[in-house]
Amino acid sequence: MSVVNQVPNRIANILINALKGGVVPRVGLEYITVGRNQEIAAILHDIEMIEEGSASFRFIVGKYGSGKSFLLQTIRNYATAKGFVVVDADLSPERRFAGTKGQGLATYKELIQNLSTILEKWISGIQANVKAQSAVSEEEFEDQVERQIYAVAGSLEGMVNGFEFAKAVVTYWKAYKQDDTALKSNVLRWFRGEYPTRKEAKEDLGINFIVNDETWYDFLKIFAAFLVGAGYKGMLVVIDELVNIFKIPNSITRANNYEKILTMYNDVLQGKASHIGFLMGGTPQCIEDKYKGVFSYEALRSRLAEGHFATADVKDLSAPIIRLQMLSQEEMYVLVEKLMNIHAQLYNYSSTLSHDELVYFLTVEYNRVGAQTHITPREIIRDFIELINILHQNPQKSVSEILGDNSFEMAKGGVSDEVIHSEFQEFEV
In degrees, to the nearest 5, what angle opens at C-alpha 267 toward C-alphas 230 and 237? Answer: 50
Long-range contacts of 416-424 (CB under 8 A, 24+ apart): 416/359, 417/355, 417/356, 417/359, 420/2, 420/330, 420/333, 420/334, 420/337, 421/330, 424/34, 424/330, 424/331, 424/333, 424/334
Give one DSSP letter per residue of 325-359, joined into a string. Answer: PPPPHHHHHHHHHHHHHHHHHHTT------HHHHH
Assign domain 36-113+215-323 one CATH number from 3.40.50.300, 3.40.50.970, 3.90.110.10, 3.40.50.2300. 3.40.50.300
Cα–Cα distance for residue pair 92/245, rounded to 1 Å: 8
Which pLDDT tens digits describe the chain residue by residue (429 residues)? 444 468 999 999 999 999 999 888 888 998 998 888 889 999 999 999 999 999 999 999 998 878 888 899 889 999 999 999 999 999 999 999 999 999 999 999 999 987 777 888 899 889 888 888 777 787 888 889 999 999 999 999 999 999 999 999 999 999 999 999 999 999 999 999 999 999 999 999 999 999 999 999 999 999 999 999 999 999 999 999 999 999 999 999 999 999 999 999 999 999 999 999 999 999 999 999 999 999 999 999 999 987 545 555 556 677 899 998 888 889 999 999 999 999 999 999 998 899 999 999 998 888 875 655 567 888 899 999 999 999 999 999 888 888 875 443 333 444 444 444 444 344 344
Give residue limits of the domains in the chain: 36-113+215-323, 116-191, 329-424
